Structure 1
């Protein structure tokens, strides 16, 4: 690969281990890796990478991402931007803003509507792309618009309608999969900060009771099929507690795969395949992965 493009990315590191950048704690390496806490030059960088046909991947907290490749080619960009602006009812957060922090920070300012973010472990950017949700609300419910960068480095503002949101899905996962979210603007209401914090505590309490947050996981492994829950189907197949290597189907919630220590991507992929196959054999339902697998085949 020509290295001329590297002049545009001062601070890029070679052969960066991806495990420390993954919520699950495992992964191969990135050929080149760049952490960005300022996205001012991101559009120009993306345009150059595309012009020079350099493969790249933009990540956030990687809470729902499994790095299964031994080494990712090209440049892996980690967005760690952390900007928040509150103007009346409108709240704008950068892509690298953590959702639980967004919930807490807007609560302090008396803005309501984002409490569900306390139950979403990822960052704003990835949450918009996947229309993340928790406890009855999704990103699309309060979103007004999102600023995105296309492969040519042009910045666009997409409305909610233009994002074509669906359950854990958006146009940014399909025809605009190469576009990068840089910020999102939400419409919020007004309430007493103490009442908002109480609702956040309830979200956190419910999450502690129902999800294995005390262990590393990738969040929900599969999407819920229409009219049912993936966790119920997997549990009905007797798979709770099933273990492969250092990975285990959680005994608290069957749609979570936890890292007991030393898990590998192959361990996780083996469990995903077993979960998917067993559910299809018993119920005739083909589970669709919610986990984003980079460099491997999910559930096969």
Structure 2
């Protein structure tokens, strides 16, 4: 057995429930699941998938994904959430794709840089944020991105490909990454100022940030853990900027973290003039239940797992909303949720 095959076999888990890797806490048992820790291991998994005839599906925290109740045996599911890496460079910060975006907000808090405040409590990894140009309030990933680094999953042997911001073709929750067979493995983010740190201080800072990571997809735990970290930072003397506090008020007030969910299910249609949550409210679907899934009674664009929900329960509600919105407003809402 070659060393590459040995690495593939070592990283590939069998018979693992996808529900523990999803903020929906939904998903059946995957025959093949991997959690690579480095870019080299990502390449190895992709090459192994090709040689074994497996279809790779990449995800981070599983926060925007609905896994199937019965996953195909021919799929290789792999998450980058164990690949957390930082490198401080002149004028920029390299961050690996598996790094939770919330950790970037903590980096900004500890260094006095506000550019990443909007990422606080975004339940996803940087790779997913780069993929879809994640947005919160008036800020989005494209505001801070300098270069994305990808691997072509059809030709992983070609190594890293650099994609400058101008090549990302960003629109509203659209990007070149949605059209290309690319896997985002990292990015350079712009820094408005360089933190004045010695190499030793830099190492200590990144070790501190990594120690705050919570490797879970359970939303109530996620919310509690990171709000506690913010409170601890305040007690240690760090200044909590207003945007960080606004995030807690807004997301907590909308009950985003009370039950397993994916956050917003549908993209907004800006030609209509109202967000999807308001449209769902207007047609009286808030609180509608199918099996263990329910359209949130606090926000019409969130479908929650209220206990024992299946992927079929969620997709039934997705289809219901699409049918009712089309009948009332004349368009079929486009899911933001990735249904596998």
| TM-score using structure 1 length | 0.90
TM-aligned CA deviation for residue 187 of structure 1: 1.1
Q: Does 1:188 align with 2:191?
A: yes
Query: Which structure 2 residues correspond to residues 242-257 of structure 1 after superposition, within 5 A?
Result: 242-257=288-303
Q: Tell me, what secondary structure is at the counterpart of 1:183?
A: strand
Query: Which structure 2 residues correspond to residues 1-300 of structure 1 after superposition, within 5 A?
Result: 7-9=6-8, 10-72=10-72, 73-79=74-80, 80-150=82-152, 151-153=154-156, 154-174=159-179, 176=180, 178-190=181-193, 194-195=238-239, 197-226=241-270, 227-294=273-340
Q: Is the 8 A contact 1:43 1:155 kept in 2?
A: no
**Counterpart Cα distance in 1 of 2:98 and 2:13:** 20
Larger CA deviation: 253-262 vs 111-120: 111-120
**What is the alpha-carbon root mean square deviation over aligned residues?**
2.2
Q: Tell me, what secondary structure is at the counterpart of 2:77?
A: strand
| TM-score using structure 2 length | 0.80
Larger CA deviation: 77-86 vs 263-272: 77-86
TM-aligned CA deviation for residue 256 of structure 1: 0.2
**Which segments of structure 1 move beyond 6 Å, counting only runs of 4 or more?**
none
Query: What is the count of residue pairs matched by the alignment?
Result: 289
Q: Tell me, what secondary structure is at the counterpart of 1:147?
A: strand
**Counterpart Cα distance in 1 of 2:109 and 2:88:** 11
Q: Is the 8 A contact 1:12 1:33 kept in 2?
A: yes
Q: Tell me, what secondary structure is at the counterpart of 1:140?
A: helix
* Structure 1 spans left out of the alignment, 5+ residues: 295-300
Q: Tell me, what secondary structure is at the counterpart of 1:40?
A: helix
* Structure 2 spans left out of the alignment, 5+ residues: 196-236
Distance 1:144 1:14, change over 3 A: same
Say which structure is richer in strand: 1
TM-aligned CA deviation for residue 119 of structure 1: 4.0
TM-aligned CA deviation for residue 196 of structure 1: 5.5
